[in-house]
Copies of this chain bind each other. A is one copy, B any other.
Amino acid sequence: MQLIEQIETPALLLDRDKLDANIRRMGEKLKAFDVVLRPHVKTNKCLEISERLFAEGRGPITVSTLREADFFLEAGFTDILYGVGIAHNKFAHAATLISKGAQLKLVLDNLETARQLVEFARSSGYRFEVLLEIDCDGHRSGLSPRSPMLIKIAQLLGGTGVELCGIMTHAGKSYDCKSLTEIQACAVQERDAIVRARESLSEAGFDLSIVSIGSTPTALFTEDLRGVTEVRAGVFAFFDLVMAGLGVCREQDIAVSVLTTVIGHQPEKGWIITDSGWMALSRDRGTAKQAVDQGYGVVCDVSGRPLQDLIVSATNQEHGIISSRSGRLEPSQLPPLGTLLRILPNHACATSAQHTGYHVLANNIRKVEYWPRITGW
């Protein structure tokens, strides 16, 4: 047990009570539907947090790198969906995971990679499980739910060492919504796309055991998941300013923050200089396109209460500049040198990735544990 004041700054804080409440909220939401939660552990990359995502045992997870798959398999998570399109130069790594007991699911969206994987399965003797990626909103990867290519790939895989076990999509556009109504429209669009793709494959004689959707905004505001078997989401456990700006959570639900120290003042400019630059906060500016631009993060006192309308307005590598959104701070408003502050992050995944672990707080005040994160590929 340690006081916050004993933590060297900058440091990533995790409020364990908020984390648990956020996890409960998603659990409660999904209870109304006949779906499995396959949380995305890319947000946390941490064993202790990923364990808390499940009421018991080690359920199915989504990973963004094969390094995460290695790490979580080692820790006893076996049902793993690697959510980024596979390419041939990762087949051998995937095979190693399968040889160690992973029920690994790979994702692809094109015939060429499917052919290469079939050939690799044939020559290596490994069996692979595959999900086809569906594009529900044009934001990134995936095939249109009406694309004839879906059937072509399914036909190519039939009878080979590569089993087509499902389809998946991600409503990435939901991050750009301006209202909960828009998020709900994204949720409808996401479900419609995946259900249409399932029907198209079903009519061609391909039955799928996994029909997977997911994004934190759509998962928390969907009203209909008929035809969907599982939901993926990651940032819901932490939340962040982008999610708060969307109306998906409140600022006080954000479970991660960066502890920082005031190291200087520029009184003529109303600036507070801190030891948290982009190395500690990340360069993420996800709120720049929202109604309220939060700079590089919202400034709170050491207990986590936002201070007026202070934001981190600029960053260098290890320096942050804090200023007021509404005007220049008076010299008397500058917190004393050495004051501890907390910065709420724009994007929890990006900010957490700048740190090697979490200083875990209980009752928002005492550090009770340090939970390490993994990094790399």
Contacts and interface: CB of A to CB of B under 8 A. Distances in A.
Interface in A272-286: 273, 275, 278-280, 282-285
B275 A87 contact: yes
A283 B350 contact: yes
Interface string A255-271: 00000011111100100
A42 B277 CA distance: 13
Interface in A138-186: 138, 140-141, 172
A321 interface: yes
Interface in A322-342: 336-338, 340
Contacts of A319: 84, 140-141
Question: What 6 pairs between A and B have smallest CB-CB spacing?
Answer: A283-B283, A85-B263, A112-B337, A64-B318, A87-B261, A87-B263
A355 B376 contact: yes
B110 A337 contact: yes
Contact of A84 (B263, B265, B278, B338): B263
A87 B262 contact: yes
A375 interface: yes
A330 to B, nearest CB: 17
Interface stretch (A8-16, A195-203, A219-227, A239-247): A8-16
Interface residues of A, number: 61
27 contacts: A5-B89, A8-B377, A10-B377, A42-B317, A42-B318, A64-B279, A64-B317, A65-B318, A84-B318, A84-B319, A85-B263, A85-B264, A87-B261, A87-B262, A87-B337, A89-B261, A112-B336, A112-B337, A113-B263, A113-B337, A140-B316, A141-B263, A278-B350, A283-B350, A285-B285, A317-B350, A353-B354
Interface of A: 5, 8-11, 42, 64-66, 84-90, 93, 109-110, 112-113, 116, 135, 138, 140-141, 172, 261-266, 269, 273, 275, 278-280, 282-285, 316-319, 321, 336-338, 340, 349-350, 353-356, 375-377
Contacts of A318: 42, 64-65, 84
Of A84, A135, A336, most buried by chain B (CB within 10 Å of CB) is A84
Contacts of A349: 317
Contact of A283 (B64, B84, B88, B284): B284
A275 to B, nearest CB: 6
B337 A279 contact: no
State the majority secondary structure of interface residues on A. loop
A9 to B, nearest CB: 7
A320 to B, nearest CB: 10
Nearest to A65: B318
Nearest to A284: B283
A85 B273 contact: yes
Given A9-B89, A262-B87, A356 B376 contact: yes
Nearest to A339: B87
A227 to B, nearest CB: 25
Contacts of A138: 269
Contacts of A66: 8
A29 B38 CA distance: 57
Q: Which of A138, A172, A316 has the most CB of B within 10 A?
A: A316
A110 to B, nearest CB: 6
A321 B142 CA distance: 13
A68 to B, nearest CB: 10
